[in-house]
Amino acid sequence: MSLYSRATLLCLAAFGASAMATTSGPQQAQVSLHKTYINDAILPPSITWHGASEALLRPADDPWATPFEQGGLKSSPSYDDTLAWLDKLLATSDKLHKVSLGKSPQGRDIWMIVASQEGAETPEALQDNGKPTLLVQAGIHSGEIDGKDAGMMLLRDMVMGDKQGLLKGANLLFVPIFSVDAHERSGQFNRVNQRGPVEMGWRTTANNLNLNRDYAKADTLEMQHMLAAINRWQPDLYIDVHVTDGIDYQYDVTFGYNLAQGLSPASYRWLNDKYRPKIEQALSAQGHVPGPLVFAIDNRDLSQGLSLWNASPRYSNGYGDARHLPTILIENHSLKPFKQRVLGTYVMLASTLEVLGEQGTALRSAIKQDSYRYSDRITLTWESETQPKGWDFKGIDYRLEQSPISGETVVRWTGEPKLYENLPVKGKTRADIKVNRPKAYYIPPQWQAVIERLSIHGIRMTRLEHAKTLTLTQYRFGEPAFDAKDYEGRQRVSAPVSSHKAKVELPAGTVKISTQQPLGDLAILLLEPQSPDSLLQWGFFNPIFTRTEYIEHYAVEPLAAKMLKEDAALATEFEAALKDPEFAKDAEARLRWFYERSSYFDEQYRVYPVLRD
């Protein structure tokens, strides 16, 4: 039968009631020791896993077992318990220090552990040791918390275990919980598609915003703290740890980064040629199954192929590409048990530090090449195309059944491994809209929110001390299209664009942003209006689409007659416009036509205030 039996559902309900009765206080460990998770009965079959990385675990009664190890490998500690354990560890070693990146909206510190052989406590001290630095961020989606527990184990083993040599070649910055408020909105029913931990945090912040859609617009306090930390501590490699949704497959650790077509091609080559082979080898040796980021084009028909993701700057890895900070997005597989995912993350983080110690100089050289590349043409949008090579995909077999509940065809994963050979791969890798690189942008001083946001990103700028007249390129917009629904707290907008040269007087206080700087490419993607993650499309400039002055019909009628009498060319143009039947029968449009060509019309209406040099 295609649906779960009534008996199964009753068992699940009974298990849920039992688990709920034991989720607080000193009985927490009991929940963690259950053989299954509360949602196990409604998930596809779990594949039994044992790997060499299990040797990394310490017994629950070991004095330095992490809360994850103490809790039967199924639970993850609260914010307070995480910090209590880390504080205890920090007290044993002068190689570890704790710094706050800032407070969350609910008043919690976002802590970062600084780990170095020399015991650096400041960005300056860390940079003085000359070693490459890895920034690992866990819990940007706090229900996807594998990185926190893996990082706690790794920190312990770096100061009192067999991983102490890792700090000889590299530094580690570790943020155990990024979305700290959402982490404390914890419960057993937060992520139905994920096998553990027993209690998971929430996906979005206390303001219901998704941090991994916020890199470009940087609306959240949490993201502003993170960007400030990146600017201050200047990591050479950035890892963002997630747990994926979607289809079933054999891989337990998948990861990806910017593409060859992006803004950081040298970093891509380092990641693809030097980094990935070593990491995949290390994971495989420890019994894990690594793979590229996997997204099916059609979850119900794998023969349609796989999607190659070209992330935009709203996401961590797309943002890293734009600012030339090599960024790795880890997506552990949600249907794999928590223990397996945590251990896979541990192996990947430890191996990353090894590679960074060996290949850090080459990575820094790649970053420098990308940062000072200054391409003459910048791609703003991409079109999808079939890639030259397909992928052999280590999947799970499935069958399709008709659901009497939804009435649609549904997938039933069988738990049986299956190799899907040479699946087609499609991805947005064909350049679409491109622009020439301007020398600089000018932003009038009244657009303070925009200027402040660019400053948060670390983009360098100067201010005009005196008014200045320049001939610059200016964009003008056609009819705007506002999204029908709010997205991430904003009303997004796009509009047709035309450009023209304009002689403008820039007031004192106008900001000049040169694109000849390491973050110049990021500035272009944020300021070019056709860029999907431009500040314009995120709604920062929406007031320019509001008309504030009008003309009454009794005034525009005689004005139009006067204009037609005095301007023969205008009269000819109006006659041509009347050939459009829709225009001809629209009295409002006809009067507006004259108003827009009169001296009374607002010259700033639908004009982009950011100018290009």
Ranges of beta strands (E only) in 381-495 are 382-386, 391-402, 409-423, 425-431, 434-436, 440-443, 462-463, 468-477, 481-482, 493-494
Q: How far apart are CA 275 and CA 272, in angstroms?
A: 6
With beta carbons less than 8 A apart as the criterion, state whether 140 and 240 touch: yes
- Bridge partner list, 398: 413
Q: How far apart are CA 167 and CA 155, in angstroms?
A: 10
Query: How many CA atoms lie less than 13 Å away from 280 in the CB half-sphere?
Result: 15
State CA 445 to chain mean position distance: 30
DSSP annotation of 607 reads B
What lies within 8 Å, CB to CB, of 278 at 6+ separation is 351, 354, 355
Closest CA to 244 of 311, 292, 313, 176: 292
- Bridge partner list, 442: 512, 611
Cis peptide before 197 (omega within 30 of 0): yes
What lies within 8 Å, CB to CB, of 557 at 6+ separation is 591
Q: How far apart are CA 426 and CA 442, in angstroms?
A: 38
Known catalytic residue at 528: no
Q: Which of 184, 222, 331, 354 is catalytic?
A: 331
Closest CA to 302 of 358, 237, 243, 247: 247
3-state secondary structure 470-525: EEEEEEEECCCEECCCCECCECCEECCEEEEEEEEEECCCCEEEECCCCCHHHHHH
Q: How far apart are CA 369 and CA 501, in angstroms?
A: 33
Ranges of beta strands (E only) in 278-324 are 290-292, 306-308
Residue 355: phi, psi to the nearest 5?
A: -65, -40
- Bridge partner list, 173: 114, 135
Q: How far apart are CA 419 and CA 538, in angstroms?
A: 42
CA distances, 105 to each of 86, 200, 206, 540 (Å): 23, 20, 7, 22
| Max Cα distance, the chain (Å) | 96
Residue owning tokens 């860029």: 531
Question: Which residues are catalytically annotated?
Answer: 331
